[in-house]
Structure 1
Amino acid sequence: MSAHRLSAFFHVAAYTGARRGELLNLRWSDVDLDGKQITITGSAAFIDGERIEGTTKSGRKRIVSLDDGTVRVLKAQRSKQAADKLVAGQEWRGTDDHVFTTGWGEPIHPDTVSSLTATMIRRYNDLVKGPTPKKPLPHARLHDLRHIHATTLLLAGVPVHVVAARLGHAAPSITLRVYAHVIRAAEASAADVFANAIGE
């Protein structure tokens, strides 16, 4: 099964924990592939049928580091977008250097990626051709990728203030409140971690 044309969007969402609107606002000028980072500068939304671009939820921009795999995904996205532009020719409608666009260069509508999440899960679970997956994917929302990102980092021992900065929370206390259940699960094993660390 070939990758969906917006698979890069979902990959970057999962591997950065960025919000939907933040990624749909992302420009190539905000992407530093050599430095392996992106700068989240604002957010995009549709209000009364009109695309609105504004600040991030916290009102501050932030830098989010990238792993090597995500750098490769973004390089491939840039190449694919360049190919789309060649095919579209004078019909290309891109004007603002957006990273994620339609085949015509227009910014992606936020509802498109949200509704596509459920569609892609359903298609994966109900393949017409080929074997049924051994482990069907559970129902999930696009925003769940952000929660998975944060939960994975916290359970791996990444400090709360680092996770908060990565997610764009105004303060670590917000991260502590939202992910209190994850913190409690990690704390439950703290005694064993300490004992193992000193060799008992």
Structure 2
Amino acid sequence: MQRNEPGKVWDGAQLKTFLDATKAHRLSAFFHLAAYTGARRGELLNLRWRDIDLDGKQITIAGSAAFVAGERIEGTTKSGRSRVVSIDADTIQTIKSHRQRQNADRLAAGDEWKDAENKENGHVFTTAWGEPIHPDTVSSLMASLTARHNKTNPSEALPLARLHDLRHIHATTLLLAGVPVHVVAARLGHADPSITLRVYAHVINEQLVEAADIFARQIAAA
């Protein structure tokens, strides 16, 4: 079966539809951050509250989490380096709302809460009883939330997308908006911008086609 090019599953309007449809879910912030930062699944599941600087409008991607042979393993990012990613005002509000939800879960769980006693060392995304989330959980959740939306809103049905496609949408949207490749590469955590160029060659080619007309318009307007 032929696969869609990276970033071509949903457009911006469809992404907004999905995020609006998931707002009531306790993990809605996970999908928002995935789309608005381009972070990988394991990177977000490793995220701690100490990694978020709301005043500085940024988060630090310091590591990644995965399950190997049934055991949770936390290590470095894919590139082996941490990175700082800027966040916008709506994302800040989304994070604040998520923390309120998590605090409510913590109070409800009481002594049964499983995550770190020091809240700053705690994971940003946990189960309702404070355990780290399995990566497969958020992947399957995205599919089920999309299916639920499509069932109740058939006129606005969304194509089935993978969780990793949110990362592709982030990169594609920035590149088509003219954000330099090296900036996009830094946000994605690519070790070298050449990786970004290779993965998103179809987007770069679209810009190359338009380059001649852009140049002509700029000169004509001078």
Partner residue in 2 for 1:99: 124
RMSD over aligned Cα atoms = 1.1
Q: How does 1:23-34 map to 2 (within 5 A)?
A: 23-34=44-55
TM-score (norm 2): 0.86
Q: Which residue identity lines up with residue 193 of structure 2 in the other structure? A: P
In structure 1, the gaps of 5 or more residues are none
Deviation (angstroms), 1:22 = 0.2
Larger deviation, residues 19-28 vs 78-87: 78-87
Matched, 1:185 2:206: yes
Partner residue in 2 for 1:198: 219
Q: Residue 49 of structure 2 contacts residue 123 of structure 2 at CA under 8 Å; is this kept in 1?
A: yes
Deviation (angstroms), 1:135 = 2.7
Structure 1 runs (4+) greater than 4 angstroms displaced: none
Q: How does 1:13-162 map to 2 (within 5 A)?
A: 13-95=34-116, 96-127=121-152, 132-162=153-183
Q: How does 1:165-184 map to 2 (within 5 A)?
A: 165-184=186-205
Identity of aligned residues (%): 71
Deviation (angstroms), 1:198 = 2.3
Deviations along 1:8-41, one digit per CA (max 9) or x if unpaired, are 0000000000000000000000000000000000
Counterpart Cα distance in 2 of 1:87 and 1:119? 26
SS of corresponding position for 1:104? coil
Give the structure with the higher percent helix. Answer: 2
Q: Which residue identity lines up with residue 63 of structure 1 in the other structure? A: V
Q: Residue 26 of structure 2 contacts residue 98 of structure 2 at CA under 8 Å; is this kept in 1?
A: no
Counterpart Cα distance in 1 of 2:154 and 2:176? 27
More RCO (CA 8 Å, sep 6+): 2
Q: Which residue identity lines up with residue 73 of structure 2 in the other structure? A: I
Counterpart Cα distance in 1 of 2:156 and 2:216? 36
SS of corresponding position for 2:60? strand
Partner residue in 1 for 2:18: none
Counterpart Cα distance in 2 of 1:122 and 1:133? 10
Counterpart Cα distance in 2 of 1:135 and 1:188? 32
Counterpart Cα distance in 2 of 1:133 and 1:38? 36
Q: Which residue identity lines up with residue 99 of structure 1 in the other structure? A: V
Q: Which residue identity lines up with residue 136 of structure 2 in the other structure? A: D
Deviation (angstroms), 1:60 = 0.3
